[in-house]
Structure 1
Amino acid sequence: MDCLYVRFYRKCEAFFKEKQIRFDILKFLYKVLPVLEAAVYCGLIIYSFVKEDYLMFTKCIVVPATAFVVVSIFRKLIDSPRPYTKYDITPLINKDKIGESFPSRHTLSAFLITMTGFYVYFPVGIVLAVMSLIIAITRVVSGVHFTKDVITGAVIGILSGIIYFVF
């Protein structure tokens, strides 16, 4: 099946496979950025606790956890196929999961952490926003998520942050 998505993915695949350094950078970003964001998130939680701002501390834990659980349940109910199961492609990053593609939980988590960063210490939020955008892009170009998956994950993460951290 030759659709717009498959053509897009084939171009991404060719770009990253053409030069090993590009592929290595993609793999590095794909694997390391989520871990780095999780570490920063832990730092934000610890910072809010040490600062003795217990409302901030509670929100830093409850807001992301709630959104994560709700989206996880939603993903199981929808059970949307992943690009490599819907189309005849092999993802650049090896992934064994069959469904639950929509929305991207990695992207959701990244943007929830970004919003937590903005809430706790604005400059950290800016850095996290850039990292989150890269996380979302790597999910799409590596063939493990559709664009709609990461955009929806990002929107839910951002809106959850605005609703619960601002109000």
Structure 2
Amino acid sequence: MDVRDAIIVIPIAEYRCANEINFGLTSGFTEISRLSRMMNSMKKSESAMNKIISSRGRWSLQSREMTGYGFQFLLLTLFVVHILTLNDATNLSLFQSINTMGALVPTWVVSAITDLGNGTTLSVIVLCYLIKRPDLTLRVVVAAILSLLMVPLIKDYFAAPRPAVILDYLNIIGETRHTNSFPSGHTATAFLFAVTIFLVSKCNKIKLGLIAVAALVGVSRVMVGAHWPTDVVMGAIVGALCAYGALLLAPLVNLTDKLRFRSYLVLLVVILLCELDKGIDADELWQVSMLRWIWFSVCAGLIWQFWKRSHRVTKLEG
């Protein structure tokens, strides 16, 4: 090989070497880019999985916190009392003692307390609460549906006679009823809503207050001569179980202001129609009717205030 050939070969070799280097660099960058995309994809998948696990963990922890020992103790207490009231002598003795006390309390007071277990009255009160806690709306609706299914089925199955059928002397306030005594629908309704809020509340005073009011509604059903103690206790158990069932079936929901307003309005109209459909009860005291319509007015006012507030915020954002 002479000098001229060497001069030609050297540039060719350098060119090939440069091409190989460029190819290697390009391949390396391509591989690095591909690995980077894979890593990002894996990170996204891991992040999504962590979110799922975290949300499940929070839900599980939330469920444990919400149910806790308080609900278990409440349910256990109700079952123990129910077993005690299954004894006819105990059931009759309790009825006579509580029913006699009812005669010592002003009639309108007992009627007003027992009306807190009325479906329409308590529904309006709970709707007022839902304006503050809209996340419970779905859960309350599910609990109410469960109660509307269970209570009539149990009543029709047992067809238990009311105290007015068995006893000759008793204190009766309001309408005299004769059939479908077991369980108490008023007590079931009161405990349903009380336990629904009980399961999500973190304040022990609120929990105790709710259970105390629900229990007072149950006691008032014996005072007015409408139910046996065993009916009341079973009503409390059914209501508590419906509330717990709603906890398992219906999650807390996040509603927009527009959907909240529509939901409140629909629920208020449905409750109002149910109230009007009952007609005028000749045995109902005027004080009780007045209190119920006051609750309707308060609820309508709260919904109106919420609409004005949300409408004002929408205008400012627009």
User: What TM-score, normalized by structure 2, do the two folds share?
Assistant: 0.43
Q: Is the 8 A contact 1:82 1:98 kept in 2?
A: yes
Q: Distance in 2 between matches of 1:12 and 1:63?
A: 29
| Conserved? CA contact 2:102–2:223, under 8 Å | no
Which residue does 2:13 correspond to in 1? none
- CA–CA distance in structure 2, aligned partners of residues 7 and 62 of structure 1: 37
Which 5+ residue runs of structure 2 have no aligned equivalent?
Answer: 1-87, 250-318
Residue equivalent to 1:37: 122
Q: Distance in 1 between matches of 2:215 and 2:198?
A: 15
Structure 1 residues 7, 129: CA separation in 2 closer, same or farther (over 3 Å shift)? closer
User: CA–CA distance in 2 between the matches of 1:159 and 1:13?
Assistant: 27
The letter for the 2-side match of 1:41 is V
Query: What is the distance in 1 between the residues matched to 2:101 and 2:177?
Result: 24
TM-score, with structure 1 as normaliser: 0.75
Cα distance, 1:153 vs. partner?
A: 0.6
Mapped contact 2:143–2:245 kept (Cα < 8 A): no
> Structure 1 residues 121, 154: closer, same or farther in 2, change over 3 A?
same
Deviations 1:114-143 (A, max 9, x none): 022224545555433221110001111322
Alpha carbons of 1:165 and 1:138: their partners in 2 closer, same or farther (altered >3 Å)? same
Taking the TM superposition and a 5 Å limit, the aligned residue runs for 1:1-167 are 4=89, 9-17=95-103, 19=104, 22-24=105-107, 25-31=109-115, 33-34=116-117, 37-49=122-134, 53=135, 56-119=136-199, 121-123=201-203, 125-165=207-247
Preserved CA contact (<8 Å) 1:41 1:117: no
Q: What is the deviation of 1:40?
A: 2.4
Are 1:44 and 1:120, in contact at CA under 8 Å, matched by a contact in 2?
A: no
Larger radius of gyration: 2
Instruction: Please give the root-mean-square deviation of Cα atoms over the aligned residues, in Å.
Output: 2.7
Give the % identical residues: 21
| Compared CA separation, residues 38 and 89, structure 1 to 2 (3 A) | farther
Contact 2:95/2:228 (8 A) holds in 1? no
* Superimposed CA distance per residue, residues 51-86 of structure 1 (whole angstroms, 9 cap, x where no aligned partner): xx3xx3212101222222221122123211101112
The alpha-carbon distance between structure 1 residues 122 and 65, as it changes in their structure 2 partners (threshold 3 A), is farther
Alpha-carbon distance change, 159 to 86 in structure 1, aligned in 2, over 3 angstroms: same
Listed as ranges, the gaps of 5+ residues in structure 1 are: none
SS in 2 for 1:143: coil
SS of 1:157's equivalent in the other structure is: helix
Distance 1:28 1:164 in 2: 28
Q: Which has the higher contact order (CA 8 A, sep 6+)?
A: 1
Amino acid at match of 1:149: D
Looking at structure 2, the residues matched to 80 and 62 of structure 1 have their Cα atoms a distance apart, in angstroms, of: 27
Aligned length: 156
